[in-house]
Structure 1
Amino acid sequence: MSRDSDSGGDGVSGNIFHGPAPFQLGDRNVQINHIHQATPHRRPLVLAGATLSTREELAAVIRRDWTAARRQFFEGAAATGAPSDGLLGLLAWLRDLDGLTAGDLTAQIELIDHRLRDDALPADLKVLHLLGWLDPEGEAVWRGTVVTPESLSEACRIGRLEESGPEWELYRDLCEGGLLDALSRFSRLSALRGTQRAWDEVWGSWRRLATQVPGLPPEGREWAESGARGLLLAALLPYSETRTWLRAGCERVAPPPTGEIEWYDWLRARDGGSDTPVGWLVRADFTAFAAAQAEQRRRQAEADRQNQRIRTTLDAASALRQRQWADYEGRRLSPAARLEAVVRATLWLGSWGAATIPVTWIMWGWIRPDIAATLSWYLVMLTLAAYAGWLPKVIRLGAAYQPPLRRVREWAEEARADRGRTRRGLFRAGLVVGFVLIFGVLLHDVGVIVTTILLTPLLGVAFHFARIGAIHDWADDHRERLRDYQSRRAGSGVAQDISEGVRSPSARVRADAYHAFMRQFTGLDHNRRDE
């Protein structure tokens, strides 16, 4: 300013001021005029094709096109780490905004210095903080989706149990930290202030408690380190929607009786009460774990009792079967039974030997009766040699040796129907005819002494093959008993499918296996023919 010479030293006017601005300074009148400056040119902010001039306009575009705001403002920084052109343009635009109150200016400084310039903060969180400053009265939007008390509650209820979907994505972002504080800047979610810090503190104290739980099952311990975090947040959310499903979940699962699950009783004594976050967690998730474990123990105990009852019954049945077999063997091998077997063998082999004698008389009797008589004695001697070799095996079979003396016709019909047996019968008949023919010729040509000497090896052969050859026991009942007994003695005497059925959780399968057991062990005396 300079003095005006026409004022006589009493007036001062500023050459660069225009317009009256009366001001009294001592005894002089001073006139201060307004500063004349050119209005600065504001650089417009363009986002997603829209030119923006107000906070509300930028907030609306962010809500509509979240990805574009994140990409333009917070992605694509230079390799040196310097802010991108989009961020610099945003910061300049924010500083030039009009109509900001003192509170707005303070919040703007905090936003720019502590949020938008923080390299450690994820880009999406920066966008959310920016949106919360621009329009705190509007809807809270996270990655293009509106966040409400209901969606937060659903994220805790559903997202913590899933591995995909919008609820899971929101729950995952909540667990990464910082999201709750950013959401609390919106008026509709202002009740969330301080929830993040409280959640972190409760989560830390819960993890310390969980490491001390004695006997906690592996699946419960794994849940304590991960999924339990979501329910702790649900218990801290200040919304009635969350408390509604929490209370319903606790009422749906009945806790096991005190003293049945030790680790659960231990937790209940240290959870801080039903109104605390840990108390809600224990009465919801870990009550479900405890109830499932108690039910499993009850089922196992019932299965053990059932198995014990079955085992007791089976042991008794097995002992009965052993006694039945011992009784049967005693009767089969008794002296009287063996004597009867010898008599039956004598009659059976004698009848076969007697059946061959007519062959000698048919072939030689009408020419040389003396040769026919000698051959008849040879056949008797061969029959006796075979009988001597056969007799020890007959004695070992005892009562099981039951040749068809009384059912020769049935036996003949069965043999005729079996082509193999028919061929073997014809072969044996051919051997008899050949023997009669050859030894008849020898008797005629070389005499009785030489022929008898030649017969001696045949007697040994007949004895040997009768001794080592198979003998038909003829007793179907004995074969069935023996096969049944030997098959059940192998291993544990219990078929594998029956053993698995006894351990089945299905009552019907266990019952079927039980009946199969009983049929197996009591099938020994199915006909009771020996009684």
Structure 2
Amino acid sequence: MAEFEESPRRTQRDPGVTRADRPVDETRHDQTGPSNDPPQQIAPGATFRDAAPSGGPLVRLPGPLAQRFTVVGELPVQGAESDLLLVRDRTIADPATEYVVKIFRRGYGADREVWRKLPELGSANVVRILETGHADGRDYEVIEYAAAGNLRSLMTSGVSVTDVLAQLAAGLDCLHRSGIVHRDLKPENVLVADVRPLRLVITDFGLSKAIEQSVVFASASRTLAYAAPESLSGQVSPARDWWSLGMIVRELVTGRPPFLGMSETTVVDHLATRPIDTGDITDPRLRLLCRGLLTRDPRRRWGGAEVARWLDGGSPTVTEEPVPEHQAPAGAGLAFSGRRYTDRTELARALVEQWDTAARYFFGRGEGGEAWRSLRDWLSTLPDDSRIELIDAHLTGAPPPDVKLLHLVRWLDPSLPPHFLGRRVTADDLPGLAALANDPAHADHRAACAIGWSLWQHDLLPALAGFADAADLKEIDARWRGRAAAWNQLAGWLRSRLPPPVTARLPDAGEPGRDDPPAVLLTLLALAARPAETGRTLADAAARAHASVREPVPWFRWLADGASDDPLRLLAVVRAAPDAVIEVEARRRDQEASQRRIADRRRHWEGAERRRLEGRSAAITRAALWSLPLLAIWTVGSLVVRQLLVGGGGESIHGAGRDTDPLPIFIALSAVAWAAQTTIEVVMAARQARDYLPLGLWSGMARAFRRAGTGLSGMSRAMSGTVRGPGARRRGCLVLVAAALPLLLLVVILPAFLAVAWLLWIAAMVLAPILHAVTAGIRLHRWRQRHEQAERDALGTAT
């Protein structure tokens, strides 16, 4: 460590000859020793610096280098001690490979000890210096060319903080183990060697210690902004580089360069007298990291070991800096949170860091509180007449404590970034409030909602515009309120045209009880702060919402089709989409329930059908048994007709002078007729199965007999009434005549009937099966109708 603590000294220049270190091979990093070989080809796709080289360089290569290299252009990023040229080597196989030649200006030289140690580094996160030397009175270095720019170009693209931290920490560890302190680490001195995957390399670390003081005090404030406090007194140690890494991390986290807009004198004063504020870093892990790296005492500052533990998930201890006695004399200043403050800017930062405590402490009890009176008395000691307006206009009266604290902080230190409720509220932060308001599970959800309500109800954006670099907040506030008015008009029009359940999702902006949490209000704020980005976000969200509605919903289709690229209509689409999804889901559930009911009914019907068909065998057996009486009827009838023919002296069947016994013919025809009728009934039974049993052959006949019996009974009652009534004797005679007439006709017709009885019997045995088939068809048709109606009733389908 003694080498790190020695005072600056100047290096001795080499004679006017060149010295080339052996180029570092792609796969070997252990080559050492001088070599006059030309540099080997570096990996393709190697990296770039800040910008494309400019044409027509004014700087010329030293003589020995000019014989080997062709100048492509002069890089626009030049330092105070050197010039940078983009060149190509004419002596290698691939002359298109480009390198950077760093030529030190006259009066400046590189540290030879650093040059000696460079080939031994072997780190993927330290730039490869392929050749070093001295020619024409000037030191030079040949460096790999990085075409992807430096870390500054990536700081707005969402690069991973932990990835950057890990790579830069690895590079610094390698340098420090080799006894090299960079002393000027900043985003411009970190090159992007590869983009995917990201690989960063540290460069420009070879400044001689003799020029360190001039670099620190003569550089621009951006370079000074990354310098450690001890660099102001010339101290050199690895702790300086860890401080610079902490400032880079803080810039990555907050999105703002350190000391932006401050003069160099102000920066030097800040570094010499006060710590770096980390209160605007919301993530506690990142805030711990920055506090450790930005500890003012270099002996207690985090180094490589603590950073490694932090990357592994640990929480190394951070040394709290003691308050200098001259800043807090006994009884002097304003007491707050265990300290006394005399400096208004320090008090402002303390109030921001402990916002909730400060608001309750100073303003929670109103103007009668002791803390408020102490604050008022302390303000009266400050030589600033504007405190009167501050107290009368903003710190007294009805505003809530948080609003009063905002005006107090702004008055104390307007150079701070705008803060409210302890959170930074810049134009870049406003869109994030909408995302937090839409995420109730997030830890900062309630804080974002509270900030949104306060900004709207208390008109705070114009007040926040009084902070440093926040003037655009006033214009954003005007756009916000204009957007809110336009939204309220659109939402009212849409509510009159959309279903009632949807209207609740389209409240007026900031409407109490309906826009709560104030998602609509804060989305309009994001739209006012970043119109293009928020418009694209709403378009993407509307597209996802439209895709989530998987079935046609007429009102939602009308709303989405009319949105076009209007951000307010797109917001309405996003807000209404959940109801459209609910409607589709409800429709799907109804369909599924209906399908389940139909399936249940179908299962019940199919069960009934199975039970009906299970009775088919019994029905067929019953049909065959019920058909046996028909055989008896045909057989007995045939015997009767044959007896009539033989006993009554009737003619023979053939009428050929000899008698022929008709009985065999009658028996054969009877069997045929019975077989036909039995077949008809068996077919009926096979079709109707169990339904055939109560609807069999004789059920219709039984009904016919019942109807006939009912008719004869009615006729008998009618005749009895006729006989007992007035004129009964005359009517009785008429009834006897009417009853005797058929008997008389039968006596007259019977002989003729007997003559053709055999023919009529044969006709009956032929016609009866035909009539049976007809009636069976009618029965089957009626059964089918009843069966189909029963099926429709069972399945719940329309008739």
Bin the TM-score by the shorter chain: 0.3 to 0.5
Which of the pair is proportionally richer in helix? 1
Point out which structure has higher relative CO (alpha carbons under 8 A, 6+ apart): 1
TM value normalised by structure 2:
0.31
